[in-house]
Structure 1
Amino acid sequence: MADVTTRSPVDPAELERHLRERGVHGVQVGWVDNNGVVRSRVVPVGDLAGALHRGVGVTAVFAVFDSHDGITFAHEGLSTPSGDVRLVPVVDALDDVVPMAGQPGLAWAHGRQLTADGDPWPYCQRTVLERQVARAAAAGFEVRAGFEVELLVSREDPTGALVPAHRGPAYSANAVRDVGELVTRLLSDLEANGVDVGQVHAEYGGAQLELALSALDPLAAADAQVLVRQTVHDAARSLGLRASLAPLPSEEVAGNGWHLHTSLVRDGRNALTGDDEHGLSAVGRGYVAGLLRELPGVVAVTAPSTGSLLRRRPHYWAGAFGFWGVENREAAVRLVPSSRLLGPEHTNVELKACDASANPYLALAVTIAAGLAGVEEGLVPPEPVQEDVGGWDDERRAEAGIVALATTHEEQRAHLLGSDLVREVLGEDLLGAFVACRDADAAWAADRAPADVLASLRWIY
């Protein structure tokens, strides 16, 4: 049996004292499932030492829960209700357990899933990302990543309907004024919870806000994204509001992206920055080209839900077509270049087709893998497109080699199963479970109107 205590160098007694001094009674150990839903177990502070050593038992079939809490047994590897795994808090330092500003008495810790013997479990999404971080390191790179988190703010309504909490205009001070208490609470609570935010603003969509998270290493970026979700919901609830993080809360709104920014660092410098006409190096060109080549399979992981497919529309900055551009917000892959003002370290690549229904660890893993593949193979991207190709006709897009990304389950499923890169990154077991979840969601939605599908997903993220 693997000794999982080696994964937590923190003295459990010291950690317990540290938490009790901060009024913590329970630690919520959380993970994200294959639908982007954050699941958790609460461990009393007095039992935390045991959880660090042995983990907390959870059913293996969480890997085949669908978005509506149904359990699909279509994946052969998890085809019965039997089986148990251990959810082990990832605690390498005292501040890895975060007393939650919006949930007094509770703290948060991210979890890793292991077998009952303490060995790696093939369905653990965190482990998948760890492998890609190690792969990047073996190639001589560190990865920097950050999410832009969009959310729709609603007044509380007993029917679950959306009641916009700000009236716009888009990006305006008036909109921020309408939800000023929430913005202040978010800034305060995020700081208390150890999440670094670059900015907050009213977004384009009705009653929409965006939080831009600072760039971190990939595991820390995914952890921060999960922690942001809890902070957002706590802050909204305290003010009689609700936050919808869903890709498309209703057919009448623009929808929420969780845009993913990544870059590579080598020898302490941004490895994407170079001297070509777009400000890219050979590494940068390869990174963009790799992500572009693998885009259909990648977005089937980064924006995987039935809501994601309904959101993927032209003219909504949702990454509806497979092309790249320099600062083109309609492009699925947007290059954010350096400049004299911003400096050479600023270069990064934004994936627009990413949202809250993605597991952030898997989203980062496939994105990094695609970019690294392009670097390793020395790929070169086509010329960037600076227009909104949604306004082009089919013939012009075909001439430019630009195709629409999937908008149906059948298309997206084919892209998942047809991507050798996704298969390699996730592994056969996890890919099988992931596809089974997507199939179950599609079957649930098949005989329902889009409005009903979107309403069912509105508050689950």
Structure 2
Amino acid sequence: MDESTELPSSPAATNSLSSSSAVSDDPVPSPRQVRSIADAKRIVEARGLTHVKVGLFDNDGVMRGKYMSREKFFSALDHGFAFCDVVLGWDVQDQLYDNTRYTGWHTGYPDAPVRILPYTCREVPFEDGMLLFLAEFSDSAEVVCPRALLRRVIQRCEKAGFAPYGALEYEFFVFDETPDSARAKGYRDLKPFTPGWFGYSMIRNSVHADLYHEILELAQQMDFPIEGLHTETGPGVLEAAITVDSVEAAGDKAALFKTFIKVLAERRGLMATFMAKWSNDYPGQSGHIHLSLRNKSDNKSAFFAKDAPHSMSDVQRQFLAGQQRLMPELLCMVAPTINSYRRLIPGFWAPTDATWGVENRTAALRVIPGSDKSQRQEYRLGAADANPYLALAVALGSGIYGIEQGWQPGDAVDGNAYAADHPAELALPRTLWDAAQRLKESAAARDLFGDAFVDHFAASREWEEREYRRHIGEWELQRYFEII
């Protein structure tokens, strides 16, 4: 379930990167006013910082980074710096892929060039004036960098004449546990932060208002402001809708939200999880994406047509058709873990086929009629465990591809999409392995994302499935140990 978010009627401020490296006498900007190299140097010097934080995101959307000395940071702003490319060649447990071409034992895991993005500067609330800057891989490493991939898809969208806007909303469970206690329990019998099924609870958000206020304040300070925050149905589960922005900024906001919600929780002696489905007893956790396009020529909604059925323009119908037709081929970029497929079952608010409907939350794609300001659609397939940059690249890229091809969507679903029969071509892969094979075979994926990325990411998902098959789980022991 989710709360809708209204898209803006005017473009967000552009993220410009000046090549100027001199520190001027201009006023010191606030973190979110930083736009250039000179701005970045000026704010670091004004705060007297000896070090700053620099971070980037790996295949799985996990933030990796370091403290960097001021001198090193200034040099990196001017000339870039090097970061070991192993972060593009290992899994969430830091285990090294053995089946990728881009990096591996065969390359010796060299350093790869990285650029710092001054306009991503953020305050780090817990660290007394500390600043955080995002970075992304450049040069040869750019072809497999998730953030750079999203940027290329955005450029394709802009070349087609559109400015894309988006927002993500996340469900996440909070536990009265620590990393140590959860491991000691084997991740079983964990204690949720609050008990019972109590969606939209005014009691819960009032009793625990201090936590809610900390989340809201953190989001404001780090510029991923939250439009809505409430309990979802299930023990200890919250849902947060991040405020809409340009798609590049939306990716940064979502990735930072996931990272720093975990930081905030652990600093309070709690834990937050964004697993797609952590328990057989409770619904899965979504990461729904709202998207809209505005014409670059006149800044009007490219989706809104006042007199058309459901106010859907031809552009929106083509965009929708691209998302629908390519969803089975691109699924593993949106459902990237073994656990993702535990969520994609009927009756748990997650789609099982590439369906669409108007204001229908049982469909994979939900068209939301509105006005020039609010007409949009929701990519409901997304789970909380997806890399936000890749999920946005899929949702936006597949829609743009549909516009380029002039496709039209199939029939809308009325009522319960789970109970209806759908064409075979709309069926979603049921396992991560099958989804990886579909990605490798997809001509559209290779057109949108490039051969190097498709081969690298598909191989990383095959690795993930192989790691799972090596594991002997509790279910197998209980079922076979004595009896078979």
The TM-score, its normalising length taken from structure 1, stands at 0.87
Pairing partner for 1:270 from 301, 322, 326: 301
Quickly say closer, same or farther: Cα 1:14–1:363, change in 2 above 3 A. closer
Instruction: Quote the offset at 1:325 in angstroms.
Output: 1.0
Quickly say closer, same or farther: Cα 1:327–1:106, change in 2 above 3 A. same
RMSD: 2.5
Cα distance in 2 for partners of 1:291, 1:225 equals 21
Quickly say closer, same or farther: Cα 1:102–1:332, change in 2 above 3 A. farther
The one-letter amino acid of 2:334's match is: T
The one-letter amino acid of 1:364's match is: L
Instruction: Quote the offset at 1:271 in angstroms.
Output: 0.9
Cα distance in 2 for partners of 1:388, 1:8 equals 56
Please identify, of 53-62 and 15-24, the stretch whose mean Cα deviation from structure 2 is larger.
15-24
The one-letter amino acid of 2:467's match is: W
1:446 aligns with 2:478: no
Quickly say closer, same or farther: Cα 1:41–1:426, change in 2 above 3 A. farther
1:76 aligned residue = 101
Quickly say closer, same or farther: Cα 1:200–1:410, change in 2 above 3 A. same
Pairing partner for 1:344 from 366, 372, 388: 372
Instruction: Quote the offset at 1:91 in angstroms.
Output: 0.9
1:338-377 matched pairs, under 5 angstroms: 338=370, 343-377=371-405
Cα distance in 1 for partners of 2:338, 2:475 equals 11
Instruction: Quote the offset at 1:245 in angstroms.
Output: 1.5
2:364 aligned residue = 332
1:89 aligned residue = 116
Deviations 1:31-83 (A, max 9, x none): 22112222222212343201212333222232221222111131223242332
Cα distance in 2 for partners of 1:452, 1:197 equals 39
The one-letter amino acid of 1:107's match is: L
1:36 aligned residue = 61
1:121 aligned residue = 142
Q: Are 1:8 and 1:52, in contact at CA under 8 Å, matched by a contact in 2?
A: no
Secondary structure (helix, strand or coil) at the match of 1:76 reads: coil
| Structure 1 consecutive aligned stretches of length 4 or more whose deviation exceeds 6 Å | 450-453
Quickly say closer, same or farther: Cα 1:107–1:250, change in 2 above 3 A. farther
1:50 aligned residue = 75
Instruction: Quote the offset at 1:290 in angstroms.
Output: 1.0
Please identify, of 436-445 and 121-130, the stretch whose mean Cα deviation from structure 2 is larger.
121-130
Cα distance in 1 for partners of 2:468, 2:434 equals 16
Secondary structure (helix, strand or coil) at the match of 1:77 reads: coil
Cα distance in 1 for partners of 2:447, 2:193 equals 44
> Which consecutive unaligned segments of at least 5 residues does structure 1 have?
454-461
Instruction: Quote the offset at 1:253 in angstroms.
Output: 2.5
The TM-score, its normalising length taken from structure 2, stands at 0.83
| Alignment: residue pair count | 434
Deviations 1:162-207 (A, max 9, x none): 3211224122112323532211001111111122221111112331
Cα distance in 2 for partners of 1:281, 1:372 equals 14
Q: Are 2:301 and 2:373, in contact at CA under 8 Å, matched by a contact in 1?
A: yes
Secondary structure (helix, strand or coil) at the match of 1:102 reads: helix
Quickly say closer, same or farther: Cα 1:74–1:182, change in 2 above 3 A. same
1:59 aligned residue = 84
1:278-297 matched pairs, under 5 angstroms: 278-297=310-329
Secondary structure (helix, strand or coil) at the match of 1:146 reads: strand
Deviations 1:423-455 (A, max 9, x none): 2222122222211211111111114367799xx
Cα distance in 2 for partners of 1:230, 1:166 equals 22
Quickly say closer, same or farther: Cα 1:243–1:22, change in 2 above 3 A. farther
Quickly say closer, same or farther: Cα 1:87–1:199, change in 2 above 3 A. same
Instruction: Quote the offset at 1:105 in angstroms.
Output: 4.8
Q: Are 2:287 and 2:386, in contact at CA under 8 Å, matched by a contact in 1?
A: no
1:137 aligned residue = 158
2:128 aligned residue = 104
1:27 aligned residue = 52
Secondary structure (helix, strand or coil) at the match of 1:421 reads: helix
> Which consecutive unaligned segments of at least 5 residues does structure 2 have?
1-16, 24-36, 477-484
Secondary structure (helix, strand or coil) at the match of 1:31 reads: strand
Secondary structure (helix, strand or coil) at the match of 1:349 reads: strand
Secondary structure (helix, strand or coil) at the match of 2:245 reads: coil
1:437 aligned residue = 460
The one-letter amino acid of 1:63's match is: L
Instruction: Quote the offset at 1:152 in angstroms.
Output: 0.8
Secondary structure (helix, strand or coil) at the match of 2:142 reads: coil
Q: Are 1:27 and 1:108, in contact at CA under 8 Å, matched by a contact in 2?
A: yes
1:237-248 matched pairs, under 5 angstroms: 237-248=266-277
Secondary structure (helix, strand or coil) at the match of 2:227 reads: strand
